[in-house]
Structure 1
Amino acid sequence: MTASAAEQRAVGARVRQARTAAGLSLRVTAARIGVSPATLSAIETGKTGASVTRLRSLATELHTTVPWLIGEQRADDSAPPEYRAAPSAGTRLPRPAERRTRDARPDEFGSPKSWREFPPLTIDPVLAAAIDSFVETGYHGATMRSIAARAGMSVPGVYHHYRDKQDLLVRALDLTMDELHQRVRAARLDGANGRERVARVVEALALFHTHRRELAFIGASEMRSLNPADRDRITASRNEVQYLLDAEIDTALADANRSADHARDAGRAIATMCTALPQWFRLDGPSSPEQIATAYADFALALLGLTVAD
């Protein structure tokens, strides 16, 4: 077992320990962080890794910290027994005074409007090189040797951090879905009614698929390259985003007393026009991501028959 696999299992064990200490079920915790129970189970058993974004969500919901989850926070014997880690872990969960409630959680992107902001991704050089390689040559055209060369590392050095090329693909797609879920949910909260929430969700989808077009391109083109278990898991995660959009469409149509006969067809058409953006959008093109996002929100409302007058 490689070092990265061992670390993955250790993080998963800490997640399960924290969840148990918090008195939360697998299903409830999964719902709170916006993933399926199967995904959370895979994290806890070490079968899949957890991105920084997902670790932050878990830390908040489980009343702990990211350093504790990744094993960088040392034990404190003064911690109350109910928050003390198992002796083998050598670390502790935060004391009650360190807890943050779900309602008090700050916006994941720093401010109420920051779901529209896209700072550079903070990822390790190997994953960054893999993403570039998958975009340039496709998953099957990339090799661990070519990824290592692009990252400026030795091949053994790459294998120290990632089990194989499949692990890199899974990490890239998990990163994609983590950020997409966070942004879509933040955008949804920015709408005052169903119509506004539809517009905000579509805007968030369009912004993500233009600003993060490399990740989105891989998500659109390489699902077939995933192993069956991860393909099913990530497909379920994608469906969750679609269901969220569908729910807001239903609300908007009901508010406007419009027919919902073709709501599901419209929802899929709207999502598809956003996911197709990486195929043609270029940052040096005539329209900016923000202009595209605003236009797509208008297109979506027009398709649903929800004009400004409504």
Structure 2
Amino acid sequence: MVESPPVRARAAASAPVGDWRHYPPLELPRILDAALSQIVEHGYDATSVRTIAGEVGVTVPALYYHYDNKQSILVALLDHAMRTVSSHIDAALVEAGDDPVRRLSGVVEATALYMANHPDLAFLDSERRSLTPENGAWYREHRDAIDVQLRDAIDDGCSAGVFATPVPDSARLAILSMCQGIASWYRVDGPKTPAEVAAEYVRIALAAVECTAMEFDEVGYDASVLTRDG
């Protein structure tokens, strides 16, 4: 039986990425791929191990050879989701350096691109309520790490005088909420690409923190309309 790695091991590492703006098509083992489709369509509680096994074409005992139970499958999917988005955010922050404007922009862009490119994985966040206490603690720890990265960028921007918001915590929560919402409405056959959506959300995020020092970057953000009079 292939057991899920320990909580601490799961939370410890994300594979490095090259181009953090590029999210390749999702590739999952057959069991996880089938489970993801079923959970997105029916919800975790209404998805059975027997149904997943039937979708894959294996017996239930054969599925249990790979995963202890349905909870282990959910944990494996959430682990993949967290590693994916975290690795891209980490790479974006490395590229951004110490500049809080670029750091905030990088976190928001990487998150928005993840939500638009992998909405099914992003949907799994709504199933965190189904995690056991131990797995729930792991997931909150990993999820909170992204929150900290965003908070640090905003706090540093406020300290440097480039963000003028008097309510940084509320701005942070608003930014997180709007990014998470992308997965619920974005469609690949819609009028905008993931990159276009991400660029717009960066502009909105910079407006939310009342950014006073604007730049162009590689994606072409024209934030001049947000510049405040000194």
Identity of aligned residues (%): 31
**Corresponding residue for residue 82 of structure 1:** none
**Corresponding residue for residue 132 of structure 2:** 227
Aligned with residue 217 of structure 1, among 112, 123, 146 = 123
| 1:257 to partner: Cα distance | 5.0
TM normalised by structure 1 equals 0.65
**Corresponding residue for residue 291 of structure 1:** 196
Judge conservation of contact 2:96–2:102 (CA < 8 Å) in 1.
yes
Within a 5 Å distance, the mapping from 1:21-170 to structure 2 comes to 39-40=7-8, 43=9, 50=10, 54=13, 108-109=16-17, 111=18, 114-170=19-75
TM normalised by structure 2 equals 0.86
Q: Does 1:276 align with 2:181?
A: yes
Distance 1:304 1:260, change over 3 A: closer
| 1:258 to partner: Cα distance | 4.3
Structure 1 unpaired stretches of 5+:
13-38, 44-49, 58-107
Structure 2 unpaired stretches of 5+:
215-223
Cα distance per residue 1:145-195 (max 9 Å; x no partner): 111121222222111101111110111111111112111111112224110
| 1:245 to partner: Cα distance | 0.5
Cα distance per residue 1:58-86 (max 9 Å; x no partner): xxxxxxxxxxxxxxxxxxxxxxxxxxxxx
Distance 1:288 1:143, change over 3 A: same
| 1:210 to partner: Cα distance | 1.0
Distance 1:258 1:144, change over 3 A: closer
Letter in 2 for 1:251: D
Aligned with residue 196 of structure 1, among 99, 102, 114 = 102
Judge conservation of contact 2:20–2:92 (CA < 8 Å) in 1.
yes
CA RMSD of aligned residues (A): 2.0
Q: Does 1:184 align with 2:89?
A: yes
**Corresponding residue for residue 168 of structure 2:** 263
Task: Measure the CA separation in 1 of the matches of 2:138 and 2:45.
Answer: 21
Residues matched between the structures, number: 214
**Corresponding residue for residue 2 of structure 2:** 4
**Corresponding residue for residue 30 of structure 1:** none
Question: Helix, strand or coil: the match of 2:96?
Answer: coil
Question: Helix, strand or coil: the match of 1:251?
Answer: helix
Letter in 2 for 1:4: V
Judge conservation of contact 1:206–1:292 (CA < 8 Å) in 2.
yes
Distance 1:257 1:118, change over 3 A: closer
Task: Measure the CA separation in 2 of the matches of 1:258 and 1:206.
Answer: 21
By relative contact order (CA 8 Å, sep 6+), the higher-ranking structure is 2
Letter in 2 for 1:206: A
Judge conservation of contact 1:206–1:277 (CA < 8 Å) in 2.
yes
Question: Helix, strand or coil: the match of 1:142?
Answer: coil
